[in-house]
Amino acid sequence: MAQKISPKKVLSEDPRFAQAVQNYEAGLRAMQEHKFDRAKGYLQKVAAGPSKELADRANVHLKACSQQMEAVTTQFKSPEEHYDYAVSLMNSGDYVSAREHLEKLSKQAPKADYVAYGLAALDCLTGHVEDSLRHLSEAIQLNPTLRFQARNDSDFQNLSEDPRFTELLYPDPSAELPPSPAFSEER
C-alpha cells in the first residue's frame, strides 16, 4: 500500500523552500535593522521562489522596502544632512549603505571636502588603504585643516603606522615654504 505524502511535508523537505524561508527571515531581520537594500535582495529571492504564500508575503515587504528607500533618498534638505546620514550608517556598521550614500554625494558635490574625508574614513575602516590615502589627500587639498582632524580621528587607526599617512598629516614644513632669496654680497 502506497503511503500518501501530505503537501506540508513535501514543502518542509524541499531544500528550495527551506532556502526561501531562510531568505524571508533574513529579509525581515534586515528590515528591522533599517537595511532596506539588503532586505530587498533577500525578499526578491523569496518572491521568485517555490512558495506562493511566501512570495505573496515577500511582495508586501518589498513594497514597504521600496517606500522606505524612496523616503530616505528624498528627505535630505542639504548635502550636509545627507552626509550626516551616511556617517550615521558608517557608525552603525552599515558600510555598504554608507558607501552608496557617500558615492552619490561625491557625484552631487565633487568639491565637498567633507565627502572626500568621509570616503577616506570609510575606506580605512573597510581595509581599502590605497583608496583611503587617495581620498584623504583629496580632502586635505580641498581643506588643509582636515589634516588636524584626521590626526585625532580613530577611524584612521588602521593607517597610524603607515608612513604615507604620517607624511599626509605631518608634511615637511620646509617643503611648503617658498625658497628664500639669496643674499647679495653687494651692499
Q: Which three cell numbers stand for residue 100?
A: 552608496
Rounded to whole angstroms, what are the CA distances from 66 to 8, 22, 71, 183?
Answer: 32, 21, 9, 71
CATH fold for domain 79-174: 1.25.40
Percent of the chain with pLDDT over 90: 52
* Alpha carbons 136 and 122: distance in angstroms, whole number: 11
Instruction: Give the contacts of 46 (CB within 8 A, at least 6 positions apart).
Output: 20, 23, 24, 27, 54, 55, 57, 58
Is 48 in a helix, a strand, or coil?
coil
Contact 59, 91 (CB under 8 A): no
**Residue carrying C-alpha cell 551616511:** 86
The pLDDT of residue 71: 66
d(CA 119, CA 104): 11
Question: How many Å apart are CA 91 and CA 112, to the nearest integer?
Answer: 20
* Comparison of pLDDT for 154 and 37, the residue scoring more: 154
> pLDDT by residue (tens digit) across 87-127?
988 988 889 889 999 999 999 889 999 999 999 999 999 99
* CA 98 – CA 148 distance, rounded (Å): 24
Which pLDDT value is given to residue 174?
Answer: 66
Domain boundaries, the chain: 9-74, 79-174
Q: What is the reported pLDDT for 74? A: 53
pLDDT at res. 178: 54
- Looking at per-residue confidence, does 173 or 46 come out higher? 46
- pLDDT cut 70: percent of the chain above it: 84
Counting DSSP H helices and E strands in the chain, the numbers are 11, 0
pLDDT band at 187 (very low <50, low <70, confident <90, very high): very low
**Residue the block writes with cell 545627507:** 82
Task: Kindly tell me if the per-residue pLDDT of 1 is higher than 70.
Answer: no
Question: Quick one: average pLDDT of 12-38?
Answer: 88
